[in-house]
Amino acid sequence: MSLPVVRLFWLGRVHYSELLALQEHWLRRLQADPRPGTLSGTKAGVLLVCEPAGPVYTGGLRGGLTPEETTRLRALGAEVRATGRGGLATFHGPGQLLCHPVLDLRLLGLRLRTHVAALEACAVRLCELRGLQGARARPPPYTGVWLGERKICAIGVRCGRHITSHGLALNCSTDLTWFEHIVPCGLVGTGVTSLSEALQRLVTVDEVMPSFLVAFKETFKCTLISEDSPS
């Protein structure tokens, strides 16, 4: 039996707004498909991967940022956006691998809960491939991947009509001081870390990409086909 096919788009460094626009384009396209996988060229969905070009704070469906906090964060030079994903406030910026899978879960044999678990397993596997054996997922409200008491990968998703959006954010060489201005994911008393901090050397998004793609294919049991034009 052949594996489901997912189209891969590596966007490089892009503004967060561009990633959201592409996500919305593919979300509408997959949701318009009358029968899963029959719309020409959609396969089981698309994997949008990028490195954010600038600092962005995002809130989730549960909120996370008051108007006063939004004003304060914008004064730091960061963009602030409300999103439709699950969870509370987090940060995206340069040095972070941002992955938004827009997938038809029916074609992958997944449900929302197992999709989130697969994203966590993907990040754990990536850490293992980079030589970090202590990464682990934790149950809600600690969704994501952790090294000890520090989160290295945040996960927040949305799912409507079996189609997913948003995904994971893995800290590679992220400037972690940006997280000091919020309570990441609303979890008081916890911290954040990165591959660079854990491995005590610079680890770039470009370096991590091959391992990430291996981990994604393993955990989602799919074939990735790389394409140039995301539209």
Is 115 part of any known ligand binding site?
A: no
Annotated active-site residue in 127, 153, 185, 222: 185
191 annotated as a binding-site residue: no
- To the question of whether residue 25 is assigned a binding role by annotation, the answer is no
Query: Residue 169, annotated ligand binder?
Result: yes
How far apart are the C-alpha atoms of 159 and 164, rounded to whole Å?
Answer: 4
- Note if 50 is an active site residue: no
87 annotated as ligand-binding: yes
91 in a known ligand binding site = yes
First to last CA, the chain: 29
The answer to whether 167 is annotated as binding is yes
Is 12 labelled as part of a ligand binding site? no
What residues are paired with 192 via a beta bridge? 151
Please check whether residue 213 is in contact with residue 10, taking contact to mean a CB–CB distance below 8 angstroms.
no
Buried b (16+ CB within 10 A) or exposed e, 162-199: bbbbbbbbbbbbbebebbebbbbbbbeebebbbbbbbe
Determine if residue 88 is labeled as part of a ligand binding site.
yes
Token duo for residue 91: 């940060």
Instruction: Report how far residue 4's alpha carbon sits from residue 109's, in angstroms, rounded to the nearest whole number.
Output: 10
Determine whether the annotation assigns residue 32 to a binding site: no
Nearest to 87 by CA among 162, 47, 138, 141: 141
Residues marked as binding for substrate?
85-92, 154-156, 167-169
For the annotated binding site, the residues are 85-92, 154-156, 167-169
Active site residues: 185
